[in-house]
């Protein structure tokens, strides 16, 4: 079945450094790739997403890149701040995403040390 692998499972960086989280997916038909941030005790919140007709998207300190050939996509956070500490999930649409269904990666716990 469809699968999304996310690495690393934990990531610790110094404030101001960059953080990169990588995901691979198995379904060639996937065309929508969102990233969610989950703070302790809360539900996940969308922080950025990318569609298959785009290779890169940026929103202030956050960027996402997509390599459809290799079925890889990555989240890049620059100039990290303590409030970036959270669990991050990547996801890929199941099939062409007409159903809106997503399959999620296992999550990455990011710790930003002051």
Residue 93 found at the interface with another protein (CB under 8 A): yes
Q: Give the nearer residue to another protein in terms of CB position, either 37 or 85.
A: 37
Phi-psi region of 106 (alpha: psi -120 to 50; beta: other; left: phi over 0): alpha
- Subset of residues 26 to 45 that bind another protein, contact rule: CB under 8 A: 32, 34, 36, 41-45
Binding mask 43-82 for another protein (x = CB under 8 A): xxxx--x---------------------------------
Which residues in this chain contact another protein in the complex, by CB under 8 A?
1, 4, 6, 9, 32, 34, 36, 41-46, 49, 89, 91, 93, 97-107
């Amino acid at each position: 079945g469809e699968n999304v692998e996310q690495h690393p499972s934990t990531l610790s960086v110094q404030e101001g450094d960059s953080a990169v989280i990588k995901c691979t997916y198995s379904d060639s038909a996937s065309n929508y790739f969102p990233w969610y941030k989950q703070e302790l005790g809360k539900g996940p919140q969308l922080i950025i997403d990318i569609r298959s007709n785009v290779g890169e998207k940026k929103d202030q300190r956050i960027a996402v890149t997509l390599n459809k050939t290799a079925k890889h996509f990555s989240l890049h956070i620059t100039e990290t701040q303590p409030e970036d500490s959270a669990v991050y999930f990547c996801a890929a649409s199941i099939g062409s995403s007409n159903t809106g269904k997503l399959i999620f990666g296992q999550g990455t716990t990011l710790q930003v040390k002051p």
